[in-house]
């Protein structure tokens, strides 16, 4: 029996090792291919039950000086920062310094005209506050840096109309998380960065994670990736080359919706802290990773700083992507099966992709079947143009074109470019969006993660 057990165990270990090697090879092949297509420039970490099974860098931290990325390179996280803002609010609630049901005007009296919007509304994106980026574009003196305090001042001064009543519907809101950042500062009497450092980063030994506003408060950060975008001539540049009146420059003083910087392994520490209840308990996590619900009883796939999905194949998933000033970031926690995907890129260009779905397939030993990317002529796009709507979703989607690229814009949101694929299919990879047209019915199927909605041309 002893020999049989030993042989069986050895067989299991050998096969497990071969399976892991196969995953590693497939992952490396995937990212190497994407890098060769100028679709991925960044760092990757994949873990199972907290154990790193794949970690590698692809490309350059600085293009001009040909400085390569390494596993300790720091990246701006963009909207992946929102989960840290949400955790800051959770920790203040646990201390008894605030309640989720408090109106935001309790801490920001300047916003008294916004009625019954609560902290929980902001956490869940159900508050209805209008987009501060658009307001500052129209009203702000762009020779000055804007801060979170300026958002409160501008909203008090101009009183922009809410997009909807609190909890009436879900609409992703950078404004909401910037206001949460301001609430953290006013309640804790510390700067946003100092609060996160003292109560999250230090306790978790996230030594390479910090709030950094490179234009507002410039300092030399070692081993920090430079973010790149594409200009109108097709050149890879930083957004600073667009001038000081470009929004990523003068809005650099605003935190809460972004501005946390980190590394692969620090983010794995963060993932492990959530898994092992180091900062919060199960009751807290049931709120953080719970779908919000609007007044009509509809579930929205957003908790506290995390997008949520339930999959028959992969179980419960919490994830978030980010994009800002040349950075494209992604973190996914497969809660049911304890797998972690972290992708940090310092490119945000039309060819950039976040291949989360492909990584997931590799982790579960599934085949990757993808349609081929194609190029269309400008006139080929005409049949897709127009306004599309559905009774199942409150927003309309408008499709326009610029030269030979199709653009989509949801009501109240910024437009985004769509890459063309075979069989009337278009994708916006950074947000995992696929649009598949059905020409005979003048409609399309909009897919994002596990949600599918049919839109019809008006």
Hey, which residues are catalytic here?
79
Angstrom distance (rounded) from CA 271 to CA 341: 10
Angstrom distance (rounded) from CA 225 to CA 453: 37
Cβ atoms within 10 A of the Cβ of 25, count?
12
Angstrom distance (rounded) from CA 166 to CA 109: 17
Contact 332, 271 (CB under 8 A): no
HSE-CB for 443 with a 13 A CA cutoff: 11
SS3 label, residue 213: coil
Residue 275's nearest CA partner among 212, 337, 207 is 337
Q: Tell me which DSSP letter residue 441 carries.
A: G
Angstrom distance (rounded) from CA 169 to CA 163: 10
Q: In angstroms, how far apart are the furthest CA atoms of the chain? A: 80
The three-point CA angle 446-130-192 to 5° equals: 105
| Type and span of the H or E element at 152 | helix 148-158
């Amino acid at each position: 029996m002893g020999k049989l057990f030993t042989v069986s165990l050895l067989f299991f270990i050998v096969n497990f090792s071969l399976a892991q090697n196969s995953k590693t090879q497939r992952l490396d092949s995937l990212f190497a291919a994407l890098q060769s297509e100028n679709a991925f420039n960044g760092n990757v970490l994949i873990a199972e039950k907290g154990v790193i099974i794949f970690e590698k860098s692809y490309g350059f931290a600085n293009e001009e000086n040909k400085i390569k990325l390494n596993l300790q390179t720091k990246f701006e996280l963009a909207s992946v920062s929102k989960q840290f803002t949400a955790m800051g609010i959770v920790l203040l609630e646990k201390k008894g310094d605030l309640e989720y049901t408090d109106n935001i005007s309790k801490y920001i009296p300047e916003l008294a005209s916004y009625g019954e919007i609560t902290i929980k509304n902001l956490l869940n994106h159900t508050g209805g506050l209008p987009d501060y980026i658009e307001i500052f574009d129209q009203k702000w003196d762009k020779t000055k840096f804007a801060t979170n305090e300026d958002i409160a001042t501008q909203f008090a001064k101009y009183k922009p109309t809410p997009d909807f009543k609190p909890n009436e519907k879900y609409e992703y809101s950078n404004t909401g998380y910037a206001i949460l950042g301001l609430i953290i500062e006013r309640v804790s009497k510390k700067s946003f960065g100092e609060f996160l450092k003292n109560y999250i980063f230090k306790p978790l030994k996230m030594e390479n994670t910090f709030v950094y506003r490179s234009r507002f408060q410039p300092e030399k950060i070692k081993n920090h990736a430079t973010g790149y975008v594409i200009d109108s001539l097709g050149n890879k540049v930083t957004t600073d080359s667009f001038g000081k009146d470009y929004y990523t420059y003068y809005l650099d003083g605003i935190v809460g919706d972004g501005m946390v910087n980190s590394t692969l392994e620090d983010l794995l520490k963060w993932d492990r802290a959530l898994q092992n209840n180091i900062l919060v308990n199960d009751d807290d996590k049931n709120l953080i990773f719970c779908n919000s619900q609007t007044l009509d009883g509809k579930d929205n796939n957003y908790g506290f700083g995390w997008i949520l999905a339930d999959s028959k194949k992969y179980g419960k998933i919490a994830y978030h992507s980010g994009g800002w000033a040349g950075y494209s970031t992604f973190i996914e926690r497969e809660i049911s099966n304890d797998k972690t995907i972290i992708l940090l890129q310092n490119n945000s260009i039309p060819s950039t992709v976040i291949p989360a779905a492909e990584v997931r397939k590799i982790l579960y030993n599934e085949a990757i079947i993808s349609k081929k990317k194609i190029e269309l002529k400008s006139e080929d796009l005409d049949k897709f143009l127009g306004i599309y709507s559905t009774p199942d979703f409150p927003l309309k989607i408008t499709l326009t074109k610029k030269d030979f690229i199709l653009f989509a814009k949801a009501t109240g949101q910024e437009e985004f470019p769509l890459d063309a694929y075979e069989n009337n299919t278009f994708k916006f990879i950074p947000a995992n969006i696929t649009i598949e047209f059905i020409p005979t019915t003048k409609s399309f199927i909009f897919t994002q993660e596990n949600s599918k909605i049919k839109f019809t041309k008006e």
